[in-house]
Structure 1
Amino acid sequence: MNDIDAWVWWLVAAAALGIPLVVTAMPEFGMFAVGGVAAAVTAGLGFGVVVQVLVFVVVSVALIAVVRPIANRHRAQRPQLATGIDALKGKQALVLERVDGSGGRIKLAGEVWSARSLDAGRAYEVGQEVDVVDIEGATAIVI
């Protein structure tokens, strides 16, 4: 196997490692594929098999050691932008019809919502501002 054949084999190995990345969505395979490309470049520059394998191992392990913890940290973070009903929690609303434990109407984010108070014994009169603490179905829970 001469130097040109070596870099071709490394690229084939990188492509083969890229296939499970797409199929399984495991980023480690992508990191191994990048190690294969680095080894192909090393082979193309004329270095021996031992150096090629060493470059493959070092680049792959370095990527896993550095990129994987960063990816896990980003995956664990909550999204910065709240959407849907999560964006409505904590907003203020205007009472349109008396709101108590059994129901009522509020104007929330420009729309009319059915609402009920969190504390069943508490009532809010027309014109009062209330805070939305939760959304259950199409009903806002307010305090």
Structure 2
Amino acid sequence: MEWLGDHLWAAWLVLAVALGAAEMLSLDLILLMLAVGALVGALVAVAGLPVVLQVLLAAGGATAMLALVRPNLIRRLHSGPELITGHNKLVGQQGVVTEQLSAHTTGRVKVGGEVWSAAPYDETLTIAPGAVVEVFAIRGATAYVHPVGELL
């Protein structure tokens, strides 16, 4: 028992390693934060401070890690690029008119390597074949497009 009193830092270090190893099984980042708290306890023990202070600082370090660091890590791990699937991925892309479009006749555009039935987004427009258009919306199987302005 006297050895433990003289080498309490080693007990804290063993606890930190055990919690770190257990984290490999859970992957929740909770045990890792507790392991950091145990490392704080080990550092305080190395400084020779009383056991009560070691426990309080270790608990405070673990609590601070759980409250301040873990939420940011979880948010960063779970976020990623926004994935747009289906026909919505065509909105904003440019295409070429293959059949004339007007408010009264649905034409065709080639967008993203596919041919879509299309209508002008602005119903007052007529868009000739060969015009470059941008897809503003897709409703059902019809792409609503608007001509891309040309720079002069």
Which category of TM-score, normalised to the shorter sequence, fits these structures? Answer: 0.5 to 0.7
User: What SS class does the counterpart of residue 32 from structure 1 fall into?
Assistant: helix
* Percent of aligned pairs with the same amino acid: 25
User: What SS class does the counterpart of residue 21 from structure 2 fall into?
Assistant: helix
| Number of residues of Structure 1 aligned to a counterpart in Structure 2 | 132
Aligned to 1:19: 21
Deviation for aligned residue 1:28: 1.5
Work out whether residues 93 and 132 of structure 1, in 8 Å CA contact, stay in contact via their aligned partners in 2: no
Is 2:96 aligned against 1:95?
yes
Matches within 5 A, 1:1-143: 1-4=4-7, 6-71=8-73, 73-74=75-76, 79=81, 88-95=89-96, 97-98=98-99, 104=108, 106-108=110-112, 112-117=113-118, 126-128=129-131, 129-131=133-135, 133=137, 141=143, 143=145
Listed one character per residue, the Cα deviations across residues 55-110 of structure 1 (whole Å, up to 9, x for unaligned) are 1101001111212343455467663xx5675994432322253398x9955144xx
* Structure 2 stretches lacking a partner, 5+ long: 146-152
- CA–CA separation in structure 2 for the residues paired with 1:7 and 1:118: 74
What is the Cα-based RMSD across aligned positions, in Å?
A: 3.9
Moved more, 42-51 or 91-100: 91-100
* Structure-2 change in CA distance of 1:7 and 1:93 (3 Å): same
Listed one character per residue, the Cα deviations across residues 22-44 of structure 1 (whole Å, up to 9, x for unaligned) are 22211111110100111111111
* Structure-2 change in CA distance of 1:114 and 1:99 (3 Å): farther
* Structure 1 stretches lacking a partner, 5+ long: none
Q: In structure 1, give the amino acid aligned to 2:65.
A: L
| TM, length-normalised to structure 2 | 0.62
Q: Which has the larger radius of gyration?
A: 2
* Structure-2 change in CA distance of 1:72 and 1:117 (3 Å): farther
Work out whether residues 99 and 117 of structure 1, in 8 Å CA contact, stay in contact via their aligned partners in 2: no
